Amino acid sequence: MNKQDLITKVAEGSGLSKVDAGGAVEAVLDAIVDAMKSGDDVRLVGFGTFSVAARAASEGRNPRTGEKINIPTSNQPKFKAGKGLKDALN
């Protein structure tokens, strides 16, 4: 399922037009991203938790040349499925 498929499903399930459903989906995704940018977790009870994890700097190797490269620190998005989602899949 891609974003357009999701918008279509939301429109069908909610009775909204595709334009309104697209705006709603975009607003939800933007709200999640904004919360994560500020370091907050987003907990959707029964679905899961979106969070940010800091990855420390490390040293790696270029696979072609074997040359050492420095990998800078970065923030990585994480998702942990909630009980409701796990139960729905099993």
Domain at 47, CATH number: 4.10.520.10
pLDDT at site 69: 94
User: Using one digit for the tens of pLDDT, what is the confidence trace for 9-26?
Assistant: 999 999 999 999 999 999
pLDDT at site 84: 94
Look up residue 62 and give its DSSP letter.
-
| Domain that residue 32 falls in | 3-89
Q: pLDDT band at residue 38, thresholds of 50, 70 and 90?
A: very high
* Alpha-carbon span 36 to 33, nearest angstrom: 5
pLDDT at site 61: 94
pLDDT at site 4: 95
**Residue 20 CB: number of other CB atoms within 10 A?**
14
pLDDT at site 60: 94
CA angle, residues 19, 77, 9, in degrees to nearest 5: 25
pLDDT at site 30: 97
Mean pLDDT calculated for residue range 40-44: 95
Count of domains for the chain = 1
